[in-house]
Amino acid sequence: MKRIILSLLLLSVSVISFAEKNEEEKIQEMVEEKTSYIIERMGLTPEETEKFVPIYKKYITERINTFDNSPFENFNYKEEKSMSEEEFKKINDAYVNGKVNRALSAKLYYERFREVIPESKIYKMLIAERDFKRELLKRVQNKGCQHKATTTNKK
């Protein structure tokens, strides 16, 4: 129970400081936060941690960068009406290829993880990643609710 409370406290502190940093620092901090969360949930030995962490950090950074390079990231929806079918095809192809590349990357890293940790701990990693994502979504939702309440109270 103490670990959970400590983790949540660290998580909330990092979210506050996360908003004040530049993009690269934000990404690095997110990688560190997620890595710590995952490692704690996996129950790795010190030897496993030493081998696992560099691979995992590289994996997470690559996934974040893949997301940032999505064709929808810089898409101007106002220009949508003037686009040709060929332009839509290029964007759609890039999007689907990005999804395929992410899946291939996940498979590659899964193979790397198998070299340094047992399958049971890879399973725990996958569950912890899902849980981490849910916690982030809850934080974002709570932040939005707090913003709405603050805005409503000012009226």
Q: Which pLDDT tens digit goes with each residue over 99-113?
A: 888 899 999 999 999
C-alpha 115: how far from chain center = 23
- Residues in contact with 121: Cβ distance below 8 Å, sequence separation at least 6, in sequence order: 42, 43, 44, 48
Does residue 50 carry a pLDDT above 60? yes
Q: Which of 106, 131, 122 has its CA nearest to residue 51? A: 122
82-114 b/e (C-beta count within 10 Å ≥ 16 → b) = eeeeeeeeeeeeeeeebeeeeeeeeeebeeebe
- The identity of residue 111, as a single letter, is E
Q: Which pLDDT tens digit goes with each residue over 111-138?
A: 999 999 999 999 999 999 999 999 989 9
Query: Bigger pLDDT: 145 or 4?
Result: 145
Once rounded to an integer, what is the mean pLDDT over residues 141-153?
65
**Cα separation, 135 vs 130, whole angstroms:** 9
DSSP alpha helix (H) spans, the chain: 2-18, 23-42, 46-68, 85-116, 119-154
pLDDT category of residue 64 using cuts at 50, 70 and 90: confident
* pTM for this model (two decimals): 0.68
Alpha-carbon torsion angle 111, 97, 32, 43, nearest 10: -30
Angle, helices 2-18 vs 119-154, to 10°: value is 60
Is the separation of the CB atoms in 93 and 113 below 8 Å?
A: no
Does residue 52 carry a pLDDT above 90? yes
Supply the pLDDT for residue 107.
95
Q: Within 10 A of 54 (CB to CB), how many other CB atoms are there?
A: 10
Is the separation of the CB atoms in 125 and 38 below 8 Å?
A: yes
